[in-house]
Amino acid sequence: MNATAEEESGCASDLDVQPIDTLVRFVVHGVLLNAIGAGGLLGNALSVLVLSRPQMRSSVNCLLVGLAACDTVLILTSVLLFGLTAIYPYTGRLRYYYYHISPHITPYAYPIANAAQTMSVYLTLIVTIERWVAVCHPFRAKALCTSSRARWYVLGTAAFALIYNAPKFFEAEVYPSIDDGEIIYCVRSDIDFRTASYVAIYIHWMYLIVMYIVPFSALAVLNACIVLQVRRAQAERARLSRVQRREISLATMLLVVVLVFFLCNLLPLVTNSFEVFFENALADFDPLVKTTNLMVTINSSVNFVIYVIFGEKFQRVFLKMFCAGKIRRRDSPEHTRDDSFASCGERVSLRMTRNGTLRRSEARGSRGAAGGAGSGRPRRAASPAPTVYYPAPLTDLTSASITSDAPPNSTRWNGHSRVQF
């Protein structure tokens, strides 16, 4: 929106607002957003470490690493733009950051946050498409769901997010001002760039369509198909193969990720829709707008908790990495594809010896046994069985909108990640 007269003439000081508004901003942004953001940064870092392990390598895990990376960027920009700037108006601390550092990083952190949000939304959609293919079209999964393709999907999503949000780099400008004889810096909208047509088409309607209508509709349809397929598979679970059961389990976990995504982005969707259809409808509901920032931060921080609760292999690898001395190893091997495999037309089973190595034992009725029993040839001494080792199955594991005041003189981000000056 267009800047107010106060913002055009100088910095809009948050010290002039009502104390209750300053308190609400401090609690929601200064305390809750910063605390949840710090936990989210740690959780995303641990997720990347676990999902990057060789035994976790798969197409969906590659996508989830990209999702954790863009969620990390989104949390960082949210803390820089909203969390830290909410401290000074209420406590008087971080004045230098509020008036000198934050104004200079806002024109860059703002579009980067928008790009990270766009990437997060569409990577969630791509993860859902990957699970839909694996569950509903399993015969095509080997060709379509590969790690090399997943890396290209992540790079393509990042390129799309940066290109789509490139105009936002030109929306804001920094200018100096005087406050009690001290030079401070403020941020305001570039009114020559943010024309009425630009705001109506790009900021309002395109944002609503690209960030909500398209991805949310696709997520709803795809997850409905996955739920129906999972329910049918549960009815025939006894006849499912081990690989099929893993795919169903992983799909169930990712359904939880998408459900949390819907819940955390529902309020930003409502607030953005109100701003599109009812201009300035949220002017008197600033605490509601601030809450949307908190919901987005929660969505970007909670995936690690979902992986730990619902991801069996994620739990196992995580405990092995960080609690190896406190847990007892499982008896079953972690790196076998199945209980048995076929070799040269014979059925060969994998057995665990006492020392934990995998050895191949020949099936009954082999030619060596027959020759030793019925022929005149001397029976050849059995040679040590070769050790066989197979990599772990490519087990798949799963896996915002920011609306608030842009420091120090902006009013808030439109919709779910847009600054108003």
Q: Would 352 be classed as within a structural domain?
A: yes
Task: Write out the DSSP string of 32-55.
Answer: IIHHHHHHHHHHHHHHHHHHTSGG
Give yes or no: residues 128 and 192 share one domain.
Answer: yes
328 has which bridge partners? none
Mean pLDDT of all residues in 57-68: 91
Nearest of 111, 96, 98, 238 to residue 169 by alpha carbon:
111
Give yes or no: residues 356 and 239 share one domain.
Answer: no
pLDDT higher than 60, residue 174: yes
Q: Would 332 be classed as within a structural domain?
A: no
- Half-sphere exposure (Cβ direction) of 300: Cα atoms closer than 13 Å: 35
Residue 333's pLDDT is 45
Which phi and psi angles does 48 have, rounded to 5°?
-65, -40
Calculate what percentage of the chain has a pLDDT beyond 70: 67
pLDDT higher than 50, residue 366: no
- The DSSP call for residue 416 is T
**Position of tokens 């791509």?**
126
Q: Would 411 be classed as within a structural domain?
A: no
Give yes or no: residues 122 and 231 share one domain.
Answer: yes
Q: Would 410 be classed as within a structural domain?
A: no
Give yes or no: residues 361 and 261 share one domain.
Answer: no
User: Tokens standing for 81?
Assistant: 């733009």
Q: Would 52 be classed as within a structural domain?
A: yes
Give yes or no: residues 292 and 347 share one domain.
Answer: no
Q: Which residue has the higher pLDDT, 286 or 188?
A: 188
Give yes or no: residues 346 and 202 share one domain.
Answer: no
Give yes or no: residues 351 and 234 share one domain.
Answer: no
* Inter-CA distances, 208 with 124, 215, 271, Å: 17, 10, 11
Mean pLDDT of all residues in 26-43: 94
Which phi and psi angles does 215 have, rounded to 5°?
-65, -40
Give yes or no: residues 258 and 368 share one domain.
Answer: no
pLDDT, tens only, 273-284: 777 776 665 655
Calculate what percentage of the chain has a pLDDT beyond 90: 33
Q: Would 285 be classed as within a structural domain?
A: yes
Q: Would 420 be classed as within a structural domain?
A: no
Which CATH number is 309's domain given? 1.20.1070.10
Neighbours of 71 (CB within 10 A): 31
Domain span at residue 88 reads 5-321
Compute the distance between CA of residue 190 and CA of residue 195 in angstroms, rounded to an integer. 9
Quote the number of domains for the chain.
2
Compute the distance between CA of residue 23 and CA of residue 405 in angstroms, rounded to an integer. 14
Give yes or no: residues 13 and 123 share one domain.
Answer: yes
Give yes or no: residues 233 and 375 share one domain.
Answer: no
Q: How far does the chain reach from its first CA to its final CA, in angstroms?
A: 7
Which phi and psi angles does 42 have, rounded to 5°?
-65, -45
Compute the distance between CA of residue 40 and CA of residue 306 in angstroms, rounded to an integer. 12
Task: Write out the DSSP string of 49-81.
Answer: HHHTSGGG-SHHHHHHHHHHHHHHHHHHHHIII
Give yes or no: residues 238 and 345 share one domain.
Answer: no
- The DSSP call for residue 354 is T
pLDDT higher than 80, residue 238: no
Give yes or no: residues 185 and 291 share one domain.
Answer: yes
Residue 326's pLDDT is 58
Q: Would 331 be classed as within a structural domain?
A: no
Compute the distance between CA of residue 133 and CA of residue 112 in angstroms, rounded to an integer. 31
Which residues are within 8 A (CB) of 80 and not within 5 positions of it... i.e. 6 or more apart? 102, 105, 109
Task: Write out the DSSP string of 278-297.
Answer: STTTTTT-HHHHHHHHHHHH
pTM: 0.72
Compute the distance between CA of residue 105 and CA of residue 212 in angstroms, rounded to an integer. 27
Q: What is the mean pLDDT of the chain?
A: 74
Residue 268's pLDDT is 84
